[in-house]
């Protein structure tokens, strides 16, 4: 049977397998599978279970809601998880033998996260609580409630995906007694508390909280070790930057956590740190790797992937993710400083769990031609078993294009890494158009992972080039930092050098039919490119930045991100304007489609509106497509029918002009 080509509607067929969690005895595990319900136009995530001796997979929860954050009790007899069955996320609990889940919490504003107490009779919860209220207090619903003005004195008053932030609600930590249903507050004060970790003896919590009154320019959340009985606090780390994911070793002597300081602002590599509670010292275990700990991949398939920051074994070895050279690999570390990869190249390990003895790992793994499944790997030998086959039928019926990895020289004689896809159904001797796709961030990376959008472009008959220019993670600290203060400089040259390289090496590419697209920073770069070269016959800019001057005041991150990335604020408007694509609108000759979400608080829609009206006023060929009820993440987690409409707009524009 001849395989068909990828379609936009394949989003309804693809299954996302994420979040494997091993039982304490290592004999069974649970994971989350997400699909899109086409009829209800929503994402549905359910809990699945697997016995590791028989590889028998069973669905444990049903319904059309979302399950997340599964966690076993210390004795392995119970399982807790979050579910939005009743709108807000609440904690549910079920027997490890199966059966119906029982709802534990009924908090007014839902639950942000939770941790089992090792005793198995209590659960620690982190949840928003209104000032002067309790976790369980309910607000009276008033259908006739009149609109009220919103007042703020803070600069951080809005957030993409959330909107305007509540001024009178604060994340607090409490402990929930499973038998009685009582919840006892543990933290207090008008601060945002984060629940991080709990010791295996149940005597200590790790929490994150910044108690500074004015946090407009605070980019830190100190971590504290808190004695549960006395509430005495010991500083784990208190410095500029973001640190978290704290995990106690099994003997409770060490605490592992990850984080990045502010040396290179948001371009700083994340590292793995170890705190020794016996002498109070902290070491940076991954300082010598020159690559970021964690998952820096930008893609559009996995839903709700939430990997542990780090996992301990009983002999005090550690496992963590590392983003390196377009891969996310599972890495091993010892306290003595040994560091080596535990998984191979050319894949994306986006979820994992390691047995307590370090014998094997459960992993959710994707590559460029596989959306991802659950695998078991024997760590010593590298031998693998694939435990699920949710995407098997899809792969049997659809022709995917395997990208070819490329490395070329950019300015500064740096190696730049990327991928080139031939069009689906490629025939030798034919000429084909090419589209360059540019990632956002800019401190993220394209990777050896499944990317539906790239496959769709190839299926529509285009070659696809996607690269990791300077500013991308996964190569070196110098490389990821090099874009800051130079937007539209060396990064632009890196991308164009990649185009020149593949044109020289691939006679099948029609140099007269080139397209370019990208979102967020990739949208900025698309705008910049069409203002600086006429080599492209069509362009689609998505959720873009066009004007750094207005971005400063309208983006949820603008007032500090502009300084971090461009190197200045409103005290030097000329420099902001110099790096603004809008300044170069008069040079644009490329037909440009502008795609933007109306509820984007990261790159607000006024960025698109300015660009559109400016280009139209100059008689340029441009169109504007607005997506209602959508935020900055439309392409990844947006309303399903709008995600498909977006893909149709992009491919339709290129079909018209290429």
Domain identity same for 361 and 471:
no
Q: Look at residue 647 and tell me whether its pLDDT is greater than 70.
A: yes
What confidence score (pLDDT) does residue 136 get?
A: 80
Share of the chain above pLDDT 90, in %: 94
546 located within any domain? yes
487 located within any domain? yes
With CA atoms as reference, report the closest residue to 549 among 584, 507, 579.
Answer: 579
Pick the range with the lowest mean pLDDT from 78-87, 305-314, 320-329, 592-601: 78-87
Domain that holds residue 464: 401-657
Report d(CA 501, CA 486) in Å as an integer. 22
What confidence score (pLDDT) does residue 145 get?
A: 82
Of 394, 411, 438, the one marking the end of a domain is 394
Domain identity same for 323 and 408:
no
Assess contact for 296 and 440: CB atoms under 8 A. Answer: no
What confidence score (pLDDT) does residue 140 get?
A: 60
- Locate all alpha helices (DSSP H) within 369-516, ordered by sequence: 392-397, 452-459, 477-481, 490-505
Q: Look at residue 132 and tell me whether its pLDDT is greater than 90.
A: no
Give the pLDDT confidence of 471-527 residue by residue, as tens digits: 999 999 999 999 999 999 999 999 999 999 999 999 999 999 999 999 999 999 999
pLDDT band at 141; cut points 50, 70, 90: low
Domain identity same for 346 and 459:
no
Residues contacting residue 373 through CB under 8 Å, at least 6 positions apart: 17, 364, 365, 386, 387, 388, 389, 390, 391
Q: Which of the two residues, 354 and 413, has the higher pLDDT score?
A: 354
In sign, the C-alpha dihedral spanning 626, 631, 637, 640 is: negative
165 located within any domain? no
Domain identity same for 270 and 343:
yes
pLDDT band at 178; cut points 50, 70, 90: very high
Q: Look at residue 138 and tell me whether its pLDDT is greater than 80.
A: no
Q: Look at residue 144 and tell me whether its pLDDT is greater than 90.
A: no
What confidence score (pLDDT) does residue 479 get?
A: 97
Give the pLDDT confidence of 460-472 residue by residue, as tens digits: 999 999 999 999 9
Pick the range with the lowest mean pLDDT from 128-142, 244-258, 595-609: 128-142
Domain identity same for 523 and 626:
yes
Of 394, 420, 440, the one marking the end of a domain is 394
163 located within any domain? no
Report d(CA 44, CA 33) in Å as an integer. 8
Residues contacting residue 209 through CB under 8 Å, at least 6 positions apart: 187, 191, 192, 193, 194, 221, 222, 224
Pick the range with the lowest mean pLDDT from 30-34, 98-102, 262-266, 623-627: 98-102
CATH of the domain at 42: 2.120.10.30
What confidence score (pLDDT) does residue 142 get?
A: 65
Domain identity same for 367 and 405:
no
Catalytic machinery residues: 520, 632
Pick the range with the lowest mean pLDDT from 128-132, 575-579, 581-585: 128-132
Pick the range with the lowest mean pLDDT from 98-102, 121-125, 197-201, 649-653: 98-102
What confidence score (pLDDT) does residue 346 get?
A: 98
Domain identity same for 453 and 474:
yes
Q: What DSSP state is assigned to residue 165?
A: P
Q: Which helix (H) or strand (E) holds 530?
A: helix 521-530
- Coarse DSSP helix, strand, coil percentages of the chain, rounded to the nearest 5 percent: 20, 35, 45
CATH of the domain at 585: 3.40.50.1820
The two tokens of residue 597 are 């979400």
Domain count, the chain: 2
pTM: 0.97
Report d(CA 166, CA 160) in Å as an integer. 14
What confidence score (pLDDT) does residue 40 get?
A: 95
153 located within any domain? no
Q: At what angle do helices 640-657 and 452-459 cross, to 10 degrees?
A: 40
Domain identity same for 381 and 406:
no
Domain identity same for 430 and 578:
yes
Domain identity same for 288 and 355:
yes
Of 394, 426, 445, the one marking the end of a domain is 394
Domain identity same for 388 and 426:
no
Average of pLDDT values for 163-178?
94
Domain identity same for 135 and 272:
yes
């Amino acid at each position: 049977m001849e395989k068909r080509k990828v379609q936009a509607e394949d989003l309804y067929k693809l299954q996302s397998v994420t979040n494997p969690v091993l039982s304490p005895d290592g004999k069974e595990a649970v994971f989350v599978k997400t699909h899109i319900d086409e009829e209800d136009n929503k994402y549905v995530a359910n809990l699945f279970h697997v016995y590791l001796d028989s590889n028998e997979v069973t669905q444990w929860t049903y319904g059309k809601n979302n399950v997340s954050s599964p966690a076993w009790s210390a004795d392995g007899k119970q399982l807790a998880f979050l579910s939005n069955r009743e709108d807000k996320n609440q904690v549910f609990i079920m027997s490890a033998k199966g059966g119906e889940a029982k709802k534990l919490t009924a908090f007014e504003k839902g639950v942000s996260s939770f941790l089992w107490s090792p005793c198995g009779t209590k659960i620690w919860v982190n949840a928003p609580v209104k000032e002067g209220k309790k976790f369980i207090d309910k607000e009276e619903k008033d259908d006739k409630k009149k609109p009220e003005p919103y007042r703020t004195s803070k600069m951080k008053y809005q957030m993409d995906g959330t909107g305007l932030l509540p001024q009178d609600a604060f994340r607090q930590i409490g402990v929930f007694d499973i038998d009685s249903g009582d919840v006892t507050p543990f933290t207090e004060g008008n601060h945002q508390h984060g629940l991080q970790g709990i010791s295996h003896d149940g005597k200590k919590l790790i929490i994150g909280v910044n108690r500074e009154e004015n946090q407009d320019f605070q980019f830190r959340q100190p971590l504290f070790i808190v004695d549960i009985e006395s509430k005495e606090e010991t500083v784990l780390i208190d410095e500029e930057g973001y640190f978290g994911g704290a995990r106690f070793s099994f003997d409770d002597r060490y605490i592992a956590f990850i984080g990045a300081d502010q040396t290179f602002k948001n371009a700083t590599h994340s590292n793995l740190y170890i705190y020794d509670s016996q002498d109070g010292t902290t070491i940076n275990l991954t300082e010598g790797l020159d690559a970021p700990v964690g998952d820096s991949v930008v893609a559009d398939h996995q839903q709700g992937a939430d990997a542990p920051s780090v996992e301990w074994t009983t002999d005090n070895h550690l496992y963590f993710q590392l983003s390196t050279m377009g891969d996310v690999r599972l890495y091993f570390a010892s306290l003595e400083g040994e560091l080596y990869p535990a998984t191979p190249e050319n894949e994306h390990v986006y979820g994992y769990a390691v047995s307590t003895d370090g014998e094997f790992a459960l992993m959710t793994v994707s590559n460029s031609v596989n959306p991802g499944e659950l695998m078991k790997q024997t760590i010593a030998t590298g031998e693998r078993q694939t435990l699920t086959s949710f995407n098997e039928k899809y792969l049997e019926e659809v022709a995917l294009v395997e990208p070819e990895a490329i490395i070329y020289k950019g300015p500064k004689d740096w190696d730049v890494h990327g991928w080139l896809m031939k069009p689906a159904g490629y025939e030798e001797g034919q000429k084909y158009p090419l589209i360059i796709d540019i990632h956002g961030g800019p401190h993220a990376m394209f990777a050896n992972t499944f990317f539906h959008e790239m496959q769709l472009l190839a299926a529509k008959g285009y070659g696809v080039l996607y690269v990791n220019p300077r500013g991308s993670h996964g190569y070196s600290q110098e490389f990821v930092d090099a874009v800051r203060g130079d937007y539209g400089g060396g990064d632009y040259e890196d991308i164009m050098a990649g185009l020149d390289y593949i044109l020289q090496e691939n006679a099948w590419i029609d140099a007269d039919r080139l397209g370019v697209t990208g979102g967020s920073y990739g949208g900025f770069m698309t705008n910049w490119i069409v203002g600086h070269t006429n080599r492209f016959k069509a362009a689609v800019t998505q959720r873009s930045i066009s004007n750094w001057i207005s971005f400063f005041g309208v983006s949820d991150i603008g007032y500090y991100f502009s300084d971090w990335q461009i190197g200045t604020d409103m005290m030097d408007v000329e420099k902001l304007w110099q790096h603004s694509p809008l300044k170069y609108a008069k040079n644009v000759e490329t037909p440009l489609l502008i795609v933007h979400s109306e509820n984007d608080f990261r790159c607000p829609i006024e960025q698109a509106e300015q660009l559109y009206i400016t280009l139209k006023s100059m008689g340029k060929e441009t169109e504007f497509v607005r997506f209602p009820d959508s935020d900055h993440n439309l392409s990844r987690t947006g309303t399903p029918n709008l995600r498909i409409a977006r893909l149709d707009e992009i491919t339709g524009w290129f079909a018209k002009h290429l």
